[in-house]
Amino acid sequence: MGLLDGLLREKVVLVNGGSQGVGAAIARAAAREGAVVAVTGRRTRPGEALVAELESAGAEAMFVRADLADAEQAKAAVAEVVDAHGRIDCLVNSAGLTSRGTLLDTTPELFDAHIAINLKGPFFAMQAAVADMVARRAPGTIVSIITSSAHGGQPFLAPYVAAKAGLAGLTRNAAHAHRWDRIRINGLNIGWTATEGEDATQRAFHGAGDDWREQAAAKLPMGRLGQPDEIADFVVFLLSDRSGVVTGSVIDWDQNVLGGLD
C-alpha cells in the first residue's frame, strides 16, 4: 500500500492484539504513516518478529507481552507504553476471541472467556489510555475492531455477539463521556476477513479445507473476503486528524447491508 501522507507522524500508537491478523496489519500501516508503534500479544515470538520487521523498515516499535483477558495486564500494557514514550496518543483494540457457542450450549466458562477478551480487556485498556490523555489534557483517538455480527450474528456466535455488542455500546458511551476532552472514540464492525485466525477458526469449527477462502468469496457480493490491509488503512484514517471530529461512530465495514432484503 502507498503512503497516505504520514497521517500518524510522531504519534504513539498501541495496537492491542497486534502480533497477527488485522492487528498486525494495523501496526504495519501505523508505522508506515510515521507512528511509534507498540503491539501486545500473548505469544512473544510473533510479537517480537513483527517488531523486528517494523524496525527493519525504519520505524520505532516495541512489543509488550500481555494477556488482554486479564484487566490488570491490559492496564499494565498501556502503562508500559506511557513509561517508554511519555504518553499514548492512539489506542487500537484489535484482540478478539471467536470460538463458537450457541445460546443453548455455551458454558459459563466460555461466556466469561468471551467477555474477558472481547469486552473487559478493551474496557480497561481504554480506561488506562483515556486516563493518560486526560491527565495530560491532550487529545487522543481510540478505535475498536468490533464485528458486523454485533447486529445479531449467526446462532453459533452467541457469546461472541454478546461481548462485541457490549463493545459497540461502550464505544458510544466512552465517546460521549470524553468528547469535551477532545478524545475521539470510534469502532469498526468488520465483515468476513481473510486472516490467520479466521483460517484456524474455519478449520477447527467448520471442517473447512484449503479452498475455504475461494468458496466463501464466491458467496459474497464483491467476490472476495475483506483484507486486513484495507481495514488497516481505514483504522489509520480514523486514528488520524484527517478524520476530523468523527466520534462515537460504529461503522459497518462490510459488503452486506444491514436491513437490506432481496
Q: By C-alpha distance, which of 84, 122, 115 is closest to 99?
A: 115
Do the domain assignments include residue 163? Answer: yes
Domain of residue 106, residue span: 12-191+226-252
The single residue listed with the C-alpha cell 478493551 is 122
Question: Which pLDDT score, from 0 to 100, does residue 115 have?
Answer: 98
Number of domains within the chain: 1
Give residue-wise pLDDT tens across range 99-135: 999 999 999 999 999 999 999 999 999 999 999 999 9
How far CA 253 is from CA of 113, 186, 219, 225, in Å, comes to 25, 12, 17, 12
Do the domain assignments include residue 69? Answer: yes
CATH of the domain at 44: 3.40.50.720
Do the domain assignments include residue 1? Answer: no
Give residue-wise pLDDT tens across range 181-209: 999 999 999 987 767 777 677 777 777 78
* Residue 3: pLDDT band with limits 50, 70, 90: low
d(CA 191, CA 68): 23
Catalytic pick among 63, 160, 234, 253: 160
Kindly provide the b/e burial profile for residues 145-175, where b requires at least 16 CB atoms within 10 angstroms of the residue's own CB. bbbbbbbebeebbbbbbbbbbbbbebbbebb
What's the mean pLDDT in 26-30? 97
Do the domain assignments include residue 209? Answer: no
Give residue-wise pLDDT tens across range 146-173: 999 999 999 999 999 999 999 999 999 9
Do the domain assignments include residue 248? Answer: yes
Question: Which pLDDT score, from 0 to 100, does residue 193 have?
Answer: 76
Do the domain assignments include residue 200? Answer: no
Is 160 annotated as catalytic?
Answer: yes
Do the domain assignments include residue 218? Answer: no
d(CA 96, CA 234): 19
* Residue 1: pLDDT band with limits 50, 70, 90: very low
Average pLDDT taken over every residue of the chain: 93
* Residue 4: pLDDT band with limits 50, 70, 90: low
Do the domain assignments include residue 58? Answer: yes
